[in-house]
């Protein structure tokens, strides 16, 4: 059964609680990247145009409730006020910011909403009960609205009061951003056109254990690059020098190699340096890496191998860079693989958020992929085959 979307709700004159992801970077009171606010605009604008009374909820950063001093510092740092200022610039309606998460001021602001207007309340994580999915808090927030819409894909893997608790009480639906995420990830993971090729990178095997396990079952090929590939190389008995290694995951890597067999594709050469911060020598090594060198990117032969393995792919899922892409010297592997995926004819190409999404966007490939996920943790859990509680709770279509 498909989930209800905003289209399935009669929102005219109704108070609609919308869980958005406005967890944006803020420096000295200024937003440095408003992409997450912009991503929520299709749903917000639809609700404005259809005469809803809109109440927006979002978390911002982390708030440590165990330490009173830290708690106040975190609250000051993660104040939603700059978000309200930016939102007002982006929408053609009145935005009222309420510096509260509950109480008379918030209730009055909601009561005074005209059709098509917005109330943005303070950071949901100001509330201790938010991350615990406190039923009393969820009940209170639900009392402010008639309907609930989830449009924060970056938070749907968390069973919080604002993602799951409210949806247990009010009629609910997916916003356009979450709807697109679910459709694209489902098409890539649950019902892919084949061959399906998965590319996994990033630093640690431990971050991707469940992803590798699930993809080895469903993908036609699983390509491994980045820091995690050195644990696999060690499992094959290769010398990896001073490269990143998870000693306690070598046996697991051996199990994956046994399960994956020809399906698992590993680097054949490595771009290495004799020091991470101040290298005086940069060399490419095939097979073993000398004791005083560390691998920081895939080598040219590996780039060609990976490109060859991608040929003919009809679905590609990519999560994690191929090297230390923040350093231009070791960004070549990530750039080349990014380019190769983006040029595949007729393929569905999905980036599962996180560093690979940042890499694709920063390297100028934003419009070259079918879909770039807005939620690293949520997309990773989807790729693991896990149920995402913030989506599971949403009502099915009749």
- Given the residues 51, 61, 377, 385, select the one marked as catalytic: 377
| Sheet containing 294-298, strands listed edge to edge, beginning at the edge strand earlier in sequence | 282-286, 269-273, 294-298
Bridge partners for 350 per DSSP: 317, 371
- Given the residues 132, 204, 238, 307, select the one marked as catalytic: 204
Q: Are the C-beta atoms of residues 195 and 90 closer than 8 Å to each other?
A: no
377 a catalytic residue: yes
Q: Are the C-beta atoms of residues 297 and 321 closer than 8 Å to each other?
A: no
Torsion of CA 77, 25, 227, 314, to 10 degrees: 140
CB atoms within 10 A of CB 43: 25
390 a catalytic residue: no
Exposure of 71 by Cβ count < 10 A (0-12 exposed, 13-18 middle, 19+ buried)? middle
- Given the residues 36, 75, 125, 221, select the one marked as catalytic: 36
Q: State phi, psi for 367 to the nearest 5 degrees.
A: -90, 5
- Give the orientation angle of helix 250-260 with respect to helix 209-218, to 10 degrees: 10
Please name the helix (run of DSSP H) or strand (run of DSSP E) that holds residue 19, with its range, or none: strand 15-19
354 a catalytic residue: yes
204 a catalytic residue: yes
What does the alpha-carbon distance between residue 19 and residue 298 come to, in Å, rounded to a whole number?
A: 40
- Given the residues 354, 375, 376, 390, select the one marked as catalytic: 354
What does the alpha-carbon distance between residue 62 and residue 41 come to, in Å, rounded to a whole number?
A: 24
CA dist 238 → 136, 290, 304, 360 (Å): 56, 10, 21, 31
**What positions carry a catalytic annotation?**
36, 204, 354, 377
């Amino acid at each position: 059964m498909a989930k209800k979307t905003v289209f399935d709700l009669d929102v005219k004159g109704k108070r609609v609680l919308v869980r958005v992801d406005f967890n944006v970077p803020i420096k000295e009171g200024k937003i440095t990247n408003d992409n997450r606010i912009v991503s929520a605009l299709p749903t917000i604008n639809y609700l404005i145009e259809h005469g809803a009374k809109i109440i927006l909820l979002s978390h911002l950063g982390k708030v440590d409730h165990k330490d009173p001093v830290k708690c106040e510092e975190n609250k000051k740092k993660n104040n939603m006020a700059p978000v309200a200022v930016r939102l007002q610039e982006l929408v053609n309606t009145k935005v009222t910011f309420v510096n509260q998460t509950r109480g008379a001021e918030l209730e009055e602001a909601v009561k005074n909403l005209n059709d098509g207007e917005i109330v943005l309340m303070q950071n949901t994580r100001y509330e201790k009960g938010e991350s615990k999915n406190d039923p009393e808090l969820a009940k209170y927030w639900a009392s402010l609205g008639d309907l609930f819409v989830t449009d924060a894909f970056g938070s749907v893997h968390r069973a919080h009061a604002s993602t799951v608790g409210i949806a247990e009480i009010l009629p609910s639906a997916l916003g356009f951003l979450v709807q697109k995420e679910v459709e694209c990830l489902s098409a890539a993971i649950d019902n892919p056109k084949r061959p399906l090729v998965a590319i996994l990178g990033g630093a640690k095997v431990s971050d991707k254990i469940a992803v590798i396990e699930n993809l080895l079952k469903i993908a036609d090929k699983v390509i491994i690059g980045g820091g995690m590939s050195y644990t696999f190389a060690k499992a094959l008995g290769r010398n990896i020098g001073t490269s990143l290694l998870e000693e306690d995951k070598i046996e697991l890597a051996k199990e994956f190699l046994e399960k994956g067999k020809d399906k698992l594709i590993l680097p054949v050469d490595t771009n290495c340096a004799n020091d991470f911060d101040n290298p005086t020598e940069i060399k490419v090594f095939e097979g073993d890496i000398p004791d005083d060198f560390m691998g920081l990117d895939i080598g040219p032969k590996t780039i060609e191998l990976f490109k060859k393995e991608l040929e003919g792919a009809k679905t590609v899922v990519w999560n994690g860079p191929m090297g230390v892409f923040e350093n231009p010297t070791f960004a070549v592997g990530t750039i080349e693989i990014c380019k190769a995926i983006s040029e595949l004819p007729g393929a569905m190409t999905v980036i599962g958020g996180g560093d690979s999404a940042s890499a694709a966007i920063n390297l100028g490939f934003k419009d070259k992929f079918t879909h770039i996920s807005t939620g690293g943790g949520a997309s990773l859990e989807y790729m693991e085959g896990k149920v995402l509680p913030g989506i599971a709770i949403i009502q099915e279509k009749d």
